[in-house]
Structure 1
Amino acid sequence: MTGVLRRPLLFLDVDGPLIPFGPREHPTHRSSSSPEVASNPLLARVDPGHGPRLLALPCELVWATTWMDDANECVAPLVGLPRLAVVTWPDDPGAEERDQRQGLHWKTRTLVAWAAGRPFAWLDDEITDRDRAWVAARHPGPALAHRVDPGEGITDADYRVLGEWLRAAA
């Protein structure tokens, strides 16, 4: 029996990649009177153009954010994404402290475990070379840990890198 070929995963963070931060002014894409923006004014920075671009990528999108399922409730509708799977973070402060002492992002171990050997890309604004090395040493499949500049959010250049990698991994 042959196995089902599954597309690579794309672990997607919200703060930084989809909601850019930084000293420069960011365009707003929604009126401050919209219900989503009224609950969180930073949501006005979410570019609705990300939805179609993300959906066009050859991957399975997964929220990897502290927004948890709120990403499905608040962010997904703003960009036109369907409900996505959500990575659940373990409640283990000791592990988080250990990872920080090792210079690892607190998400790294969980994402590698969640991928369970599947190819994955991870977009986040806090990824370091230490995370990349840890993933390379412990994940048996292809993986791309791509840092997004939080001052800019996901750019055309990020989409190019991600698209090329996903097509090669698929």
Structure 2
Amino acid sequence: MTAKPLLLIDVDGPLNPFAATPHQRPDGYTTHRMRPSGWDLPWQKPLRVWLNPAHGPLLMALPFDLVWATTWGAQANRWIGPRLGLPELPAIDWPELHARRDDGTYFKTHDIVRYAAGRPFAWIDDEIRLPDREYVTAHHPAPSLLLRIEPSVGLLAADFDALADWANELAEEEPGSAE
């Protein structure tokens, strides 16, 4: 049996619908105030993060190996994961945080392809655009699903369904799988 596909998870946008107005927090989300490193100046208000505690069990139920693909990095294991009931997850390191790319891709895209190392993956992020899709198609030999999440609404039931359907189809296509 081959390894499960990776699910590369961004925080801000998919899990934290930060672009919603304060008076339009989506249903099911709770407000958390956080001071991750880089946000620890005494005169700064703590960062407002909206999280839906139902997302943790839904993510864990998907047939993926979960990985943080967020600028929160490994700090997501301290600030985000526990509030969702997630175990400690590996986190992708970004050698060039917010670097501008000549090919128009998001700064994460090249590192995501490198991290996946030919393994099938799904990526949920609010910054995925056409150049990212084209880059992954040209540089990643395995199946991939790039799912852009609207940052004012976060992950929806349809997104969880799309992820599960994609992973299940991938498993059915696997050589030697039961038919």
Normalised by the size of structure 2, how large is the TM-score? Answer: 0.82
Cα distance in structure 1, aligned partners of 2:170 and 2:108: 22
Alpha-carbon displacement from aligned partner over 1:8-45 (angstroms, at most 9, x marks no partner): 000000001100023441057446xxxx63544523x1
Identity of aligned residues (%): 43
Matched, 1:47 2:52: yes
Cα distance in structure 2, aligned partners of 1:15 and 1:125: 8
**Aligned-partner residue type, residue 149 of structure 1:** E
Structure-to-structure mapping, 1:28-43, within 5 angstroms = 29-30=29-30, 37=33, 39=35, 40-43=46-49
Q: 1:140 to 1:159 in 2, by over 3 A?
A: same
Matched, 1:103 2:104: yes
Q: What is aligned with 1:123? A: 124
Cα distance in structure 1, aligned partners of 2:34 and 2:96: 30
For structure 1, which runs of at least 5 residues remain unmatched after alignment? none
Cα distance in structure 2, aligned partners of 1:50 and 1:92: 26
Query: CA offset at residue 5 of structure 1?
Result: 1.2
Q: What is aligned with 1:85? A: 90
Answer yes or no: is the 8 Å Cα contact 2:53–2:83 preserved in 1: yes
Cα distance in structure 2, aligned partners of 1:16 and 1:139: 24
Answer yes or no: is the 8 Å Cα contact 1:30–1:37 preserved in 2: no
Q: What is aligned with 2:38? A: none
Matched, 1:16 2:13: yes
Query: CA offset at residue 128 of structure 1?
Result: 0.5
Cα distance in structure 1, aligned partners of 2:114 and 2:34: 36
**Aligned-partner residue type, residue 146 of structure 1:** L
Query: CA offset at residue 157 of structure 1?
Result: 1.2
Q: 1:169 to 1:90 in 2, by over 3 A?
A: same
Q: What secondary structure sits across from 2:131 in the alignment?
A: helix
For structure 2, which runs of at least 5 residues remain unmatched after alignment? 36-45, 172-179
Normalised by the size of structure 1, how large is the TM-score? Answer: 0.86
Question: Which of residues 30, 54, 65 is equivalent to 1:60?
Answer: 65
Cα distance in structure 2, aligned partners of 1:49 and 1:92: 30
Q: Structure 1: which 4+ aligned runs deviate by more than 6 Å? A: none
Cα distance in structure 1, aligned partners of 2:34 and 2:90: 26
Alignment RMSD (CA, Å): 1.9
